[in-house]
């Protein structure tokens, strides 16, 4: 039986761990050629190598998504290696460290979060779209957050504001490119227990209590559940969906 994405090519940024790594694996298991990208070379290379254990069409390209020339080169190397770019998951992101109130946020932290989450997502879309326009098709999924759909005191103004910006950019871009056959959506995960999560250093009992307080389904979101949402949005099953920010949050924003 043919796999869902046989013969297709996907780029996943921020793929060295967490949601990005899980999504790269999910695409590869469905037959896609996967370009793994991240700033951290050892972790990115390890992800690509692990995928090649069951899907030889995987490679790692280091890129800093805040730098236009590196994003441009990333797309160029993807197309050079595989001849096309069908899907892109723009997942690279920053959270901004310790919680701080708006009047207390360090300017350098704010700039770093906005540069990665907002500028980085825009730059990725910019260069992905140029390739997809030349093909006449493509699907982009951006990684937003439930914090892009609601207000929150934590993890702070830079992160919450940047995720709202990603949702807005997703909608605007979807409207611009729908006539050209390119779909643009976002996933909005609830709290995912990854190394980037502020919950990662909490005691297990405290983490469980916090998860139950936040999510009606009573647990954290698994990276694989976000990956399933991304692959679905890229599939033909979602062929008439664009401009949508899909919550993957166990009912959190429904409250």
**Catalytic (active site) residue 159:** yes
Alpha-carbon span 217 to 211, nearest angstrom: 9
Give the full edge-to-edge strand order of the sheet including 9-12: 58-62, 33-38, 9-12, 87-90, 138-143, 182-189, 245-248
Alpha-carbon span 55 to 32, nearest angstrom: 8
Catalytic residue among 82, 127, 159, 177: 159
Please state the three-class secondary structure of the chain as a single string: CCCCCCCCEEEECCCCCHHHHHHHHHHHHCCCEEEEEECCHHHHHHHHHHHHCCCCCEEEEECCCCCHHHHHHHHHHHHHHHCCCCEEEECCCCCCCCCCCHHHCCHHHHHHHHHHHHHHHHHHHHHHHHHHHHHCCEEEEEECCHHHCCCCCCCCHHHHHHHHHHHHHHHHHHHHHHHHCEEEEEEEECCECCCCCCCCCCCHHHHHHHHHHHCCCCCCECHHHHHHHHHHHHCHHHCCCCCCEEEECCCHHHC
List the catalytic residues.
Answer: 159
């Amino acid at each position: 039986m043919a796999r869902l994405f046989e013969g297709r090519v996907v780029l996943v940024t921020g793929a060295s761990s967490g949601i990005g790594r899980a999504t790269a694996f999910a695409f590869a298991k469905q037959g896609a050629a996967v370009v793994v990208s991240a700033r951290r070379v050892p972790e990115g290379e390890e992800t690509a190598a692990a995928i090649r254990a069951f899907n030889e069409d995987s490679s790692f390209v280091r890129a800093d998504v805040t730098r236009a020339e590196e994003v441009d080169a990333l797309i160029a190397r993807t197309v050079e290696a595989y001849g096309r770019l069908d899907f892109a998951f723009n997942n690279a992101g920053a959270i901004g460290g310790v919680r701080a109130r708006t009047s207390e946020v360090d300017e350098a932290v704010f700039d770093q979060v906005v540069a990665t989450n907002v500028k980085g997502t825009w730059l990725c879309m910019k260069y992905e779209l140029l390739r997809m326009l030349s093909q006449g098709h493509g699907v982009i999924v951006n990684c937003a957050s439930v914090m892009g759909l609601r207000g929150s005191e934590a993890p702070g103004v830079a992160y919450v504001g940047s995720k709202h910006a990603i949702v807005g950019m997703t909608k605007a871009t979807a409207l611009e490119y729908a006539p050209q056959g390119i779909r643009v959506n976002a996933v909005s995960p609830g709290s995912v227990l990854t190394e980037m999560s502020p919950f990662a250093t909490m005691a297990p009992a405290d983490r469980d209590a916090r998860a139950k307080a936040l999510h009606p389904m009573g647990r954290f979101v698994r990276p694989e559940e976000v990956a399933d949402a991304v692959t679905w949005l890229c599939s033909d099953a979602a062929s008439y969906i664009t401009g949508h920010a899909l919550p993957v949050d166990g009912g959190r924003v429904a409250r």
